[in-house]
Amino acid sequence: MTPPPPPFRFRRGKDDVTFDPAFGDEDLVAARAALTQGRWTDVRALLASTGDDWDSRGHRLVVLGEGRSSAAWAEEWRLAEPESADAAALAAAAAVFRAIRGKQKPEDARELCLRVARMAPTDPTPWLFLLVLARRTGSDDEQVRAFDQVRGRHRGHHHAHHLMTQCLAERQKTDGDDPFHEVYEFAEWAAGEAGRTSPLSALPLVALVERYRALAASGALPSDPARLPYWTSARARNSVRAGFDWWLDWDRVPYPRLPVDLNHLAYGKFHSGDTVAAAALFNRIGADATRVPWSYPDRDPKKAFRAARNYALGFGSS
């Protein structure tokens, strides 16, 4: 049974979709703004308060590390406090995103991550950074090793499982749908290990969406996801249903990347033709739209999100 939607949380205007990766984390938003002005002490306080909540720590450092000026201020912090694992972690995160943008050698970013791993051996976060880096610049073996290191420290790490799903989905090009692809086996295994109340229960749906992206990018499926048989196959129906059932059963314990799962669910429900459930999800998403998966395979995510949301909610065209 679809839960009743809460009141609308978005404005129907030109700026109602912002794709802010902070996902409403007000402390993170404030620290990010302070960091752009060189006030790294705010970041130090934020990470100290985060402690060993590994999902939150990873999420916050990824968002902070993506900032264009983060590398310079992280280096200033690291020089001021050379023994700080938090300063080293921010520097490593910033280096990874610089390497992905072609502004730094991947080898240098990798060494910074390994330095953090030595400073904080129980922390999965430097290995998360290495997985981010390996997905863009590394080998299959490097991806698997980084994921295993994360999972060995935090078995239910949300971001790491999503990244590994993306890595696997991009392997093994085919001429069409491939229901026995390894990404599905991985997602079903991880979801089963995590249990039905875990956010990883939605991972088979994430695998379905990520594999669509890979197939569409290779030309094996159309680049327009609308009305494709792909979304109504037995696997798709089972994956979408399992993800939605998880949401209905979710114990409402917050976690930092909830909007990522909700957007995947809305995407799957919408393209499978269940606009009633999609409407409930769009209501829950409110302003917390995410670029992924609405950008898949190579689309304007704002236009795609607005079009799907407005259709599901009966608002007409965007």
pLDDT in tens, 221-258: 999 999 899 999 999 999 999 999 999 988 788 899 99
CB 88 within 8 A of CB 116: yes
Give the pLDDT score at 172. 79
Contacts of 202 (CB under 8 A, 6+ apart): 191, 242, 243, 246, 247, 261, 264, 265
pLDDT in tens, 294-305: 999 999 999 999
Give the pLDDT score at 3. 47
pLDDT in tens, 55-84: 999 999 999 999 999 999 999 999 999 999
- For the chain, percent of residues with pLDDT exceeding 90: 86
Please provide the DSSP assignment of 201-257 as one string.
GGHHHHHHHHHHHHHHHTTSS-S--TT-GGGGSHHHHHHHHHHHHHHHH------TT
> What are the backbone dihedrals phi and psi of residue 234, each rounded to the nearest 5 degrees, phi first?
-60, -40
Contacts of 300 (CB under 8 A, 6+ apart): none
Give the pLDDT score at 286. 92
In this predicted structure, the answer to whether residue 44 has a pLDDT above a threshold of 80 is yes
Q: Which of 25-34, 41-50, 217-226 has the lowest mean pLDDT?
A: 217-226
In this predicted structure, the answer to whether residue 9 has a pLDDT above a threshold of 80 is no
In this predicted structure, the answer to whether residue 12 has a pLDDT above a threshold of 60 is no
In this predicted structure, the answer to whether residue 127 has a pLDDT above a threshold of 90 is yes
Give the pLDDT score at 14. 55
Name the residue type at position 300.
D
